[in-house]
Amino acid sequence: MAVTSNDFARIPDEMTITEDAATFIEGLRHDHIPAEAIRIGLRCILDAAGLYVAGSEEHSVHMLIDEARDIGGRADARLLGGAGLKVPVGMAARVLGTAGHAHDWDDTQVSVDPAHVYGLLTHPTIPPLTAALTVGQMLGGIDGKRLMTAFQAGVEVESKISEWMLPQHYLSGKHSSGTVGTFGAFAAAAWLLGLKGRELRHGFGIAASFASGIRCNFGTMTKPLHVGRASENGVTAALLAKRGYTADPAALDGPWGFLAVMGGGVSPEKMAQGFGKTWSIVEPGVSIKPYPCGILTHPTMDLMLRLVTEADVKPEEIETISIHAGTNILKPIRYPIASNHLEAKFSLPAEVSMIALVRQAGKREFSDEFVASSAMQDMQRRVKTQFDPKIEAMGFDKVRSRITIHRKDGSLVEGWADERYRGGPDNPMTDAEVEAKMRSCCAGVLDSAAQDRLIAAVWGIESAADASAIVGLMP
């Protein structure tokens, strides 16, 4: 039975999540990490590398780069898009982390718990990987096994906290990639900095007060900034803790701790999972996104692609498109007509229209120019989303939807989305497909030879003498 925040006053002594997380970080060694976690971790890092490159093109990231350049400061870590300039580690993490989430294309934590309303929680890779890469540079370089260990520490801590929280956290308007992502970045930075004892526990307390991100900013520049700030704040919390800055050493626990105040409580039965006993990156796993938008829309987009391909539906033949879904999709995917690429990431009409028009939805389609085109604006107005009580009654453990395409000749093309969404653990992208996605992210920024070097560097990162140097292969 899940416990709500109102119950926490009765069980503060039973919660030891902060202590358990700290003990996990203190004791973690590379040889503790399962081989399958390493394999998946390499795929996640390759995916992220492409996303950092793609994000470097974004206007929102350019503004952060300009801000970092204007502020200046200690030359700790390379500024993405800064032509080799180095800036303080927190500022470097803010820019790199924002770039990694700028296209909303980064991987997603999976849950098999039907109590988790959307079944999908935080974007686990970017905050801890960003922290590891930037702190690693600040330390003068770190070998590949150290980078992988720090990254895995962050993913595990972030994912378990996200899994154990009640879905009220998300339903009440918090953005877990900004809030819980802070702990992922902190755990990675803390491991690299060698934090132990009270310093490590105080660091969790600092991170808990930094953690922030609200869903009203979905569809704006500030949504990816949530992840950039999570990266920066996690690093800053670790640095302050190392200096002796104090906070509550059990800040995840109790009636006034993060999980009660920000999370609405926890599921006590899940806490027995512990950290590093089962590895969340393996079980239940992560999904690598085929499309640069909210994962909740991906099964619907795949269905649309299947329908227009199999029936050879031309754009000019379409009268209307009806999308039937439950509130788990229709509430967060909130823009009825997208006017720019940021809104399109949270607009089913926009995403389905891309597929209807050009049978793909990638970096080119998620651009302001394409979204604002007359063809896109016209097609979006032919798409209607409809609440379906029968789908709602099936529950939220899967992302369910159906589409009916009404042709101008009166014929219908319709079908149901595959609940095994492409990119998820039970229908994963191949390594070759992950590489192809990475190349599509880098198109127009890095030439094919530079892409080859970056791909080779990631696949070989475990044996690298300085793994943080891969940032130098980016713009």
Name the token pair of 122: 């935080």
In which band, very low, low, confident or very high, does the pLDDT at 120 lie, cut at 50, 70 and 90? low
What is the pLDDT confidence band of residue 7, given thresholds at 50, 70 and 90?
Answer: very low
| Segments making up each domain of the chain, as ranges | 5-289+441-473, 295-416
Residue 55 has pLDDT above 50, yes or no: yes
Average pLDDT value for residue range 278-289: 96
For residues 355-381, average pLDDT = 97
**What's the rounded mean pLDDT across residues 301-327?**
97
13: pLDDT strictly greater than 60: no
Give the range among 97-101, 132-136, 168-172, 197-201 with minimum mean pLDDT: 168-172
Name the strands in the sheet holding 412-416, side by side, starting at the edge strand that comes first in the sequence.
383-387, 318-325, 401-407, 412-416
In this prediction, residues 290-308 reach a mean pLDDT of: 94
* Cα–Cα distance, 302 to 229 (Å, whole number): 32
Cis previous bond, 284, omega within 30: yes
Strand pairing class (318-325; 401-407): antiparallel
**How confident is residue 263, by pLDDT bands cut at 50, 70 and 90?**
confident
Q: Quick check: 10 pLDDT over 90?
A: no
**What local confidence, expressed as pLDDT, does residue 294 receive?**
85
Per the CB < 8 A criterion, the answer to whether 202 and 157 are in contact is no
Q: Provide the 3-class DSSP secondary structure of residue 51.
A: helix
Confidence of residue 54 (pLDDT cuts 50, 70, 90): very high
Token pair in block for residue 87: 């800036």
Kindly give, in sequence order, each residue whose CB lies less than 8 Å from that of residue 140, ignoring residues fewer than 6 positions away: none
CA dist 227 and 439 (Å) reads 23
pLDDT score of 12 more than 90: no
The pLDDT value given to residue 218:
92
Task: Say if residues 224 and 55 touch (Cβ distance below 8 Å).
Answer: yes
Considering the chain, what is the average pLDDT of its residues?
94
- Higher model confidence: residue 268 or residue 58? 58
Q: What is the dihedral of CA 460, 465, 470, 472, to 10 degrees?
A: -150
- For 418, the token pair is 């595959």
* pLDDT higher than 70, residue 50: yes
Could you report the per-residue pLDDT of 381-419, keeping only the tens digit for each? 999 999 999 999 998 878 899 999 999 999 999 999 988
What's the pLDDT at 154? 98
What is the CATH number that goes with domain 295-416?
Answer: 3.30.1330.120
Which amino acid, residue 330? L
pTM: 0.93
- Copy the structure tokens of residue 373: 């085109």
Using CB atoms within 10 A of its CB, is residue 466 exposed (0-12), middle (13-18) or buried (19+)? middle
Per the CB < 8 A criterion, the answer to whether 25 and 267 are in contact is no
Residue 115 has pLDDT above 80, yes or no: no
Report which of residues 265 and 179 the model is more confident about: 179
| Cβ atoms of 332 and 347 closer than 8 Å | no
What's the pLDDT tens digit per position in 121-168?
Answer: 899 999 999 999 999 999 999 999 999 999 999 999 999 999 999 888
Residue 2 has pLDDT above 80, yes or no: no
CB 439 within 8 A of CB 456: no
Rounded-to-integer distance, Cα 320 and Cα 336, Å:
14
Q: What is the pLDDT of residue 392?
A: 93
Domain 5-289+441-473 has CATH 1.25.40.80: no
* Residue 119: per-residue pLDDT: 59
Residue 265 has pLDDT above 90, yes or no: no
Residue 88 has pLDDT above 80, yes or no: yes
Q: How far apart are CA 92 and CA 112, in angstroms?
A: 35
Could you tell me if 221 and 178 are in contact, meaning their C-beta atoms sit under 8 angstroms apart?
Answer: no
